[in-house]
Structure 1
Amino acid sequence: MKAFVVEKIADREFKADIQEVSMPKCENDEVIIKVSYSSLNYKDALSSVGNPGVTRKFPHITGIDVAGVIYESNSTIFKAGERVLVTGYDMGMNTHGGHAQFVKVPASWVARMPDAISDKEIMTFGTAGLTAALSINELIENGVKPEDGEVLVTGATGGVGSIAVSILSKIGFSVVAISGKAEKIDYLKRIGASEVILRDTFNEESKKPMMGEKYAGVVDTVGGEVLANALKYIKYDGVATCCGLTSSHELNTNVFPFILRGVRLIGIDSVECKLEKKQAAWKKIASKWKIDNLDNITNEISLEEIKNAYELLLDGKAVGRYVVKIG
C-alpha cells in the first residue's frame, strides 16, 4: 500500500516521502480501516521532521486523523463495512497514522461516523474541529451565552481557530478574531468574524496588568503572550479555554483576572479525552454545529502534496484546514 513515511537517517536528520509499504496485520481487538480521507495538523508536521515530543519510533507513518470504512475487524464491536473515524490517542504519533491507504488501530479508539456528514466533511473538522467543538462546549457549559458579549478567538486563521470562528458565528455569537496575517482579514470576516485584530496591535495595546472588561469568553489556540493578554479583557465570571502553544508553551500572567473577576481558564485536550465525549462532540458537529462554509476553509490535497503542505504549517503560512484525499 502507499503511505507517507518518515525515516530517521542520522542523528537529528530525517527524510519523509511516499513509499510502498506492507499492509498491516489485524490482531486481537484491532481493526483495519480502508482510508478515504485524512487531514493535516500541526502535530503531523512536527512528526514529519522528527520532533521527539511527538514521535520517537521510526520509520513512521504520519496522520493523527482518519475516516473510512472497516476493512477487517478482529473485534466484537465493529464489523466490516461500517463507516468510522479515529482522532487522537497515539495514532500518528508512535503508532502508524492515517496518511496511508490502510491503517490498523485498537477498536477502543474508533468512533462510528454520524450519518449526516461525509468523510471529507468530518476530516475537514478532524482533530482541529473536535478541539474547537470541545472548547466551545466548555464555554457554553460554563454559562457563556451570545447575549453576554463577544467571544475572542486567537490564532484565528489556523485549523482550530478557523473552525471555532465559524461554529461560534453559526450558533449566534459575535466573534472577534486575532491573527498575525493582515492579508487574511477578509477571509476571517467571510467565515464569520465580526472584527479582526492584528496580533502585534493586540499585544502592544495590552500592556497594563488589567484591561477593561470586553469579552465574555476566549478560545485560545496559541498560548504565550496572546493568551496572557486575552485574560486581562475577560468580563466578570467569564471563561477562557486553552488548547495550543504555537506562540509559546509559557504563560507569563498575573492573578488579577482570576481573583478580581472570577475568570476561569480551562485546558482542552482532544487526544486522550473519553470516547463518549468525542462522540457527543461529533454529533454536534454533524448537526446543529455543522458549518455552512466548509469549502471556504478547506484545501484538499493528495498524499503526494503532503510534504509541501507540512512546510507551510511549520512556517506558519497555512490557512484553514488541509484535507488529504486517499481512497
Structure 2
Amino acid sequence: MTFPALVTERRDDGSIVSQVEMLDDARLPPGEVSVDVEWAGFNYKDGLCLTGGGGLVRTYPHVGGIDFAGTVRDSTDPRYVPGQAVVLTGWRVGELHWGGFAGRARVQADWLVPLPLEMNTRQAMILGTAGLTAMLAVNRLAHAGVAPDDGEVLVTGAAGGVGSMSVSLLSRLGYQVAALSGRPQHGEKLVALGAKSLVERAEFLAQPDKPLESARWAGAIDSVGGVVLGKLLKQIRPGGAVASLGNAGGIEINTTVLPFILRGVSLLGIDSVMQPYEARLEAWDRLASLFDFPAYDGMVEEVGLADLPEAAGRILRGEISGRVLVRPR
C-alpha cells in the first residue's frame, strides 16, 4: 500500500526542492512503531528544513515534519497497539529522522506519547510542539514562584504559535498577561485569547537602554531572544523569572549581571526537543484539561502537502500567525 509524502531533495547545483511522491513502507526508516499520520504541524523549524536553512537536515532525500499525530498501524513495542492515538514532538524527528509530512511514519516507541482520551489527533496538532513548549514554560514559571497575583507576565512573540498558546494558557490559569508583538494586526485575536494588554515591539525597544530598568513584569515567556530578551531581563521584578524558548530575534543577548544579583531574576531554559517521557506525558495531560480549543480556532490554518513549499517562505518571513495544520492524506 502506498501513501503520499512530501519528499525534499538536494539537487546537484545545491538547490533544495520538495514535491509530493507516492511511497511504500519499504522507503520508511527503521523503527518500532508505524503510524498512520492524520495531522502534522508546520513550524519555523519545518520552514528551515524545507529550504535547507540552519543545516538541520543532513541527508537527502528527506521527509520533514517535526510533529505529527495519528493512529498506530503496527508496533513491536507492547506499549502501543494498532488503532491507538499517539502524538510525536521533538527527538530531531523531521530533521535527522523522517517526520510527519507523509501519510505514514515509522519511529522509535520512546519518541511517542499516547494521546489523552479527551483529545483527538487534530487537537493534538493544534497544540503540537508549540503547545507542549508553552505548557513546559508555564509550568517552569510556576515552579520558579511566579504566581497569578504577582503582577503582569509578558509574553513576547505573542502572535506566533508558542506565544499565542502561552497567552491562552496563562490567562486560563488566572495570570495577568501582556502580549508583545511586532504585528499589531493580530491584537484583537490576542485579546480574545486572554491578553489584558498589548505591547508593540518597536515601542518596547525604543525605550532608552540602561543597565537596569524599571521593574515592570512579574515574569515572562520569551520566544524571540536577541535584543528583546536582553531588554526584558532588565525589566523583571525582584524574584521574577523569564522562560526562554526561542531565538527568532537572534541567538545572542546583551545584558548585565545586575538583574540577577540585584533583583534575583531567574532565566529558565525550555528544551522541548529532548524532554523525557514522563514530563511529556504530564504536559499533554494538563493541556487536555486546560487548553481552550474553541477560543483558539481563529488562529488555525489548514494546508495540504503540496502547499508546504510556499508556506515555508511565509513562516520564515514572519507572515504566519498561530498554528498551521497539515493534512498529509
TM-score (norm 2): 0.96
SS in 1 for 2:53: coil
Residue identity in the other structure for 1:247: G
- Aligned match for 1:250, one of 244, 252, 272: 252
Residues 224-250 of structure 1: CA deviation (Å, up to 9, x unaligned): 000011111111000101111110011
Question: Relative to structure 2, which stretch is displaced further, 57-66 or 24-33?
Answer: 24-33
1:41 counterpart = 2:43:
yes
Q: Are the counterparts in 1 of residues 4 and 328 from structure 2 also a CA contact under 8 Å?
A: no
The CA deviation at 1:292 is: 4.0
Which piece of structure 1 moves more, 277-286 or 294-303?
A: 294-303
Give the distance between the partners of 1:203 and 1:63, measured in 2 at CA.
Answer: 34
- 2:221 aligns with 219
1:188-199 paired onto structure 2 within 5 Å: 188-199=190-201
State the one-letter code of the partner of 1:159.
Answer: G
> What is the alpha-carbon distance in structure 2 between the residues aligned to residue 53 and residue 28 of structure 1?
23
The 1:260–1:302 alpha-carbon spacing in structure 2 relative to 1, beyond 3 Å, is: same
CA RMSD of aligned residues (A): 1.5
Distance 2:215 2:290 in 1: 30
CA–CA separation in structure 2 for the residues paired with 1:309 and 1:321:
12
Does 2:73 match 1:79? no
Whether the 8 Å CA contact 2:8–2:18 is kept in 1: the answer is yes
What is the CA-CA distance between 1:308 and the residue it aligns to? 2.0
User: CA contact under 8 A between 2:169 and 2:290: conserved in structure 1?
Assistant: no
Counterpart amino acid of residue 128 in structure 1: A
Identity of matched residues, %: 38
1:32 corresponds to which letter in structure 2? S
Shift of 1:219: 0.1
Equivalent residue for 1:273? Answer: 275
Read off the aligned partner of 1:274 and give its amino acid letter.
P
- For residues 42-121 of structure 1, the aligned pairs below 5 Å read 42-121=44-123
- Describe the superposition over 1:140-188 as per-residue Cα deviations: whole angstroms up to 9, x where unpaired: 1111111000100001111100110111111111111111112222222
* Structure 1 residues 147-296: aligned runs within 5 Å: 147-296=149-298
Shift of 1:267: 0.5
The residue type equivalent to 1:256 in the other structure is L
Q: Distance in 2 between matches of 1:43 and 1:309?
A: 12
Q: Distance in 1 between matches of 2:214 and 2:315?
A: 34
SS of the residue 1:236 aligns to: strand
Unaligned runs of 5+ in 1: none
Task: Tell me, in whole angstroms, the C-alpha distance in 1 between the residues paired with 2:79 and 2:175.
Answer: 39
Q: Name the count of aligned residue pairs.
A: 327
Residue 111 of structure 1 aligns with an amino acid whose one-letter code is V
SS in 2 for 1:175: strand
Distance in 1 (alpha carbons) for counterparts of 2:131 and 2:208: 29
Question: How big is the shift at 1:4?
Answer: 1.1
2:326 to 301, 316, 324: 324
Conservation of the 8 A alpha-carbon contact between 2:56 and 2:95: yes
Task: State the Cα deviation string for residues 66-106 of structure 1 (Å, max 9, x = none).
Answer: 11110011222211111111110021001110010000001
Equivalent-residue separation in structure 2 for 1:130 and 1:187 (angstroms): 21
- Matched-pair contact (CA < 8 Å) for 1:25–1:104: no
Shift of 1:53: 3.0
Give the AA of the match of 2:153: V
> What amino acid does structure 2 have at the position aligned with 1:44?
D
Residues in 1 aligned to 2:255 and 2:55: alpha-carbon distance in whole angstroms? 25
- Where 1:211 maps in the other structure, the secondary structure is coil
Q: How far apart in 1 are the matches of 2:26 and 2:242?
A: 42
Secondary structure of the equivalent of 1:90? coil
- In the aligned structure 1, how far is the partner of 2:151 from the partner of 2:5? 46
Aligned partner letter, 2:180: I
Aligned partner letter, 2:49: S
Structure 1 residue 195: deviation in Å? 1.1
Shift in Å at residue 12 of structure 1?
A: 3.7
CA distance in 1, matches of 2:104, 2:309: 19
Letter in 2 for 1:144: V
What letter corresponds to residue 11 of structure 2 in structure 1?
I
1:291 positional shift? 4.6
TM-score calculated relative to the size of structure 1: 0.96
What is the aligned partner in structure 1 of residue 132 from structure 2? 130
Given that 1:24 and 1:104 are in contact with CA atoms closer than 8 Å, whether structure 2 keeps it comes out as no
